[in-house]
């Protein structure tokens, strides 16, 4: 039974339905909506004294039309804001970027999009930013070539600091000047159209990483952050079926990226990577005393925390004397497992940590699914209002391999997540346009827009986590979703993934 009582306050009576199954706090909120007196300012007199938030309303024995007395005054009206409210449509670009914490882009200085896209992706590498912050230019090598590289790295640090503080596009004038001094190719002029020549983003990426590896060496000769966080190791074995008894030739080498070969048989990233790791070549055989066809099997023996994957989209087209582009669609994942490309020994060492991450992701996916179902049911019951649901966290302990624990900057699981993409639109490496797409970390920077709401896009899989991404089209920065990123696989005259930057999934 829900009795209707009369509440008397300041000479007026208010009829209130009392749900006796709810505590006194709910009744106070009803009075607040009728009188404007906040619950903490109310004194409601009931049998046995004053109504409290935790009072069991059923025990009060309220009767129909019973009169209750309430004392209390309405609080102060809200004061007008010191600064006038400014709506989004009235904000300047700088004010809007500051309100939404959208990071700044780089002004195009004339066919410099290859450089801008590269820098925006490299800026996501946390160890790089830390190494730049601690870099002392005075300790850089003293030869002229090394000194120029030291100035290039110093200007990169200053440029990243400007990007972190600015709400508007930043012109990379000083950095571009030193880049062209260190690598004159970036000062080449376009003989047909004038101005500076468009350049290759992959080449720019490699030269910047090489420069940082040389300049940002740590004290004590322990190497740079590049050798720790961005360099892997491989073991390559060469054999020939023409001489089965010939011992395999084994080489060990360092890698800074994986390649994805593209041909008619490649539709997915893993297929292209496998093709790149297993190749054939004609070599001289000492056993046979002649040339023979050899097959190489390349396996990864160390995985870095940050792993770029490059699509081999450009090839030299002799008939047109141009580096033409392969536009074929090759799908890539947001989450990448590269353990199949590793040596059996590394796979065994990574297995416990990998299983730990897999189990955690399964629990999180189940919690998200249950939360969505619970919120959907709650929304129907509460007329559209949703409340967050709680998920479980039963994690099984595991022992991380001692060698992996001691290897700072390695990936101990073989599992990666995509955090950056450099795309190219156009038909040749010396034309077109480059754009960077960088994943926004959740609860970092500006507010995270909600998915499925106004302007949001619902996930195809309710159990899959969703992320927003920053699209850096030079100094024009906007936000897109995971679904937009997956559309960058190629297959037409659209932005096509050229470099993917993956980061190791965290254990904690």
The catalytic residue positions are 113, 433
Q: State the number of CA atoms in the 13 A half-sphere of 429 facing the CB.
A: 19
69: how many CB neighbours lie within 10 A of its CB? 11
Measure the CA–CA gap between 404 and 114, rounded to whole angstroms.
36
How many residues are there in the chain? 508
How far, CA to CA in Å, does 234 sit from each of 202, 271, 341, 456?
21, 18, 10, 43
User: Among candidates 482, 467, 447, 472, which has minimal Cα distance to 123?
Assistant: 472
Burial class (CB in 10 A: 0-12, 13-18, 19+), 451: middle
Q: State the number of CA atoms in the 13 A half-sphere of 83 facing the CB.
A: 3
Measure the CA–CA gap between 255 and 303, rounded to whole angstroms.
9
Burial of 198-227, coded b for 16+ CB within 10 Å and e otherwise, reads: bbbbbebbbbbbebbbbbbbeeeeeebbbb
Are 100 and 447 contacting, i.e. CB atoms less than 8 angstroms apart? yes
**What would the two tokens of residue 161 be?**
């600091």
Are 260 and 330 contacting, i.e. CB atoms less than 8 angstroms apart? yes
Measure the CA–CA gap between 448 and 441, rounded to whole angstroms.
9
CA angle 196, 198, 201 (to 5 degrees): 135
Burial class (CB in 10 A: 0-12, 13-18, 19+), 258: buried
- What region, left, alpha or beta, does residue 59 occupy, with left being phi > 0 and alpha being psi -120 to 50 degrees? alpha
Q: For the packed helices 144-165 and 201-215, what is the interaxial angle rounded to 10 degrees?
A: 110
The residues pairing with 217 across neighbouring beta strands, listed in sequence order, are: 224
CA angle 330, 334, 336 (to 5 degrees): 85
User: Among candidates 435, 186, 430, which has minimal Cα distance to 323?
Assistant: 430
Residues 6+ apart with CB under 8 A from 193: none
């Amino acid at each position: 039974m829900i009795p209707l009582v009369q509440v008397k306050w300041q000479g007026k009576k208010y009829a209130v339905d009392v749900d006796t199954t709810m505590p006194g706090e709910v009744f106070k909120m009803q009075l607040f909506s009728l009188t404007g007196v906040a619950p903490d300012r109310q004194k409601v007199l009931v049998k046995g004294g004053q109504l409290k938030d935790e009072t069991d309303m059923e025990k009060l024995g309220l009767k129909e039309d019973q009169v209750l007395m309430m004392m209390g005054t309405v609080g102060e009206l809200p004061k007008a804001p010191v600064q006038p409210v400014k709506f989004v449509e009235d904000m300047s670009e700088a004010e809007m970027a500051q309100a939404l914490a959208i990071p700044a882009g780089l002004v195009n200085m004339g066919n410099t999009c290859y450089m801008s896209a590269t820098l925006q992706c490299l800026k996501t590498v946390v160890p790089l930013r830390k190494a730049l912050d601690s870099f002392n230019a005075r300790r850089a090598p003293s030869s002229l070539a090394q000194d120029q590289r030291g100035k290039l790295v110093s200007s990169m640090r200053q440029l990243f600091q400007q990007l972190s503080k600015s709400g508007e596009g930043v012109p990379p004038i000083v950095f571009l000047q030193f880049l062209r001094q260190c690598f004159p190719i970036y000062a080449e002029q376009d003989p047909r159209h004038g101005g500076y020549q468009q350049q290759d983003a992959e080449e720019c990426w490699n030269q910047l990483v090489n420069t940082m590896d040389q300049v940002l060496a740590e004290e004590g000769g322990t190497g740079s952050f590049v050798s720790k966080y961005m360099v892997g190791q491989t073991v390559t074995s060469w054999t020939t079926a023409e001489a089965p008894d010939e011992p395999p030739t084994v080489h060990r080498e360092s890698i800074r990226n994986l390649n994805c070969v593209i041909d008619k048989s490649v539709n997915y990233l893993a297929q292209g990577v496998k093709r790149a790791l297993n190749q054939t070549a004609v070599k001289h055989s000492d056993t046979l005393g002649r040339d023979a066809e050899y097959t190489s099997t390349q396996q990864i023996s160390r995985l870095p925390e940050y792993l770029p994957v490059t699509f081999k989209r450009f090839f030299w087209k002799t008939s047109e004397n141009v580096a033409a582009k392969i536009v074929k669609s090759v799908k890539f994942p947001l989450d990448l497992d590269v353990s199949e490309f590793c040596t059996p020994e590394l796979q065994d060492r990574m297995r416990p940590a990998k299983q730990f991450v897999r189990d955690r992701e399964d629990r999180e996916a189940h919690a998200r699914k249950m939360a969505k179902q619970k919120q959907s049911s709650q929304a129907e019951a509460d007329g559209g209002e949703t409340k967050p649901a709680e998920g479980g966290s039963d994690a099984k302990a595991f022992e991380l391999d001692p060698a992996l624990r001691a290897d700072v900057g390695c990936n101990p699981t073989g599992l990666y997540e995509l955090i950056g993409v450099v795309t190219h639109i156009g038909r040749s490496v010396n034309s077109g346009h480059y754009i960077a797409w960088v994943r926004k970390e959740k609860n970092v920077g500006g507010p995270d827009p909600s998915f499925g709401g106004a302007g949001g896009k619902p996930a195809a899989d309710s159990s899959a986590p969703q992320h927003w991404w920053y699209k850096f089209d030079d100094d024009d920065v906007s936000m897109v979703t995971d679904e937009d990123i997956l559309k960058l696989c190629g297959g037409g005259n659209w932005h096509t993934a050229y470099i993917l930057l993956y980061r190791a999934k965290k254990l904690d």
